[in-house]
Amino acid sequence: MNLQIENRAVSEVDAYAKTVRNEKIEQQILNELNDPPALSLDERGMILDCSKSFRTLFGFQRSELVWQHVSTLFPQLAEIDLVQAGQVNSLLSYLCRCGKLYQAINRQGDSFSINLSFVRIEYKGRGILRLIVHPFMNAECDGIA
């Protein structure tokens, strides 16, 4: 009889541990949804700030990125005007919506493919760009850009 009680107790502990693990995973997913890998840029492409998940993905500290040009991380953006006539460059916006892959360079110098999204927002009376990074995980298409 004690063996049945012990088995039931072990089952209840296992079920509780599984519930706690699932809740932690759900919380991690929610945190990532609330903190996507993103940069805040001025209209010239200078980095103003970055999210924690961006720092984790790219391996940089915030102080290493602020006031660097975005092309340091995304070389394909070097010769592109991010803003035209007060709006996100329409061609850039179109290419991002179409799923164009861009090359990103992390702190170690490794290159990987990503998708980008740009959103223009007003903050304290000035235009800010929010660049959201969507890592591309398909190794077969990694070289496409």
Rounded CA separation 116/131 (Å): 7
DSSP string of 87-121, one letter each residue: EE-HHHHHHHHTT--EEEE-TT--EEEEEEEEEEE
pLDDT (0 to 100) of residue 35: 81
Residue 91 clears pLDDT 50, i.e. is over it = yes
**Vertex 144: Cα angle to 98 and 114 (nearest 5):** 65
Q: What is the pLDDT of residue 126?
A: 82
Residues 49-89 have pLDDT tens digits of 999 999 999 999 999 999 999 999 999 999 999 999 888 99
Q: Please give the share of the chain, as a percent, with pLDDT higher than 90.
A: 59
Q: Does residue 62 share a domain with residue 26?
A: no
What's the CATH code of the domain at 121? 3.30.450.20
Same domain for 68 and 18: no
Mean pLDDT of 107-135: 90
Q: What is the distance of C-alpha 23 from the center of its chain?
A: 22
- Of the CA atoms within 13 Å of residue 104, those in its CB half-sphere come to 24
Q: Which pLDDT band holds residue 127 (cuts at 50, 70, 90)?
A: confident
* Position with higher pLDDT, 110 vs 6: 110
On whether both 109 and 137 belong to a single domain, the answer is: yes
Average pLDDT score over residue span 10-30: 61
Give the total number of structural domains in the chain. Answer: 2
- Looking at residue 22, what is its pLDDT? 63
14 with 64, same domain: the answer is: no
Same domain, 68 and 115: yes
Local confidence band at 142 (pLDDT 50, 70, 90 cut-offs): very low
Residues 55 and 82 in one domain: yes
How many other CB atoms sit within 10 Å of the CB of residue 69?
14
Residue 125 to residue 84: CA distance in whole angstroms: 18
Position 7 scores a pLDDT of 63
CA 27 to each of CA 6, 15, 22, 50, 54: distance values in angstroms, whole numbers, following the listed order: 31, 18, 9, 21, 18
Residue 137 identity: M
Q: Are residues 20 and 61 in the same domain?
A: no
Q: The domain containing residue 10 runs over which residues? A: 1-34
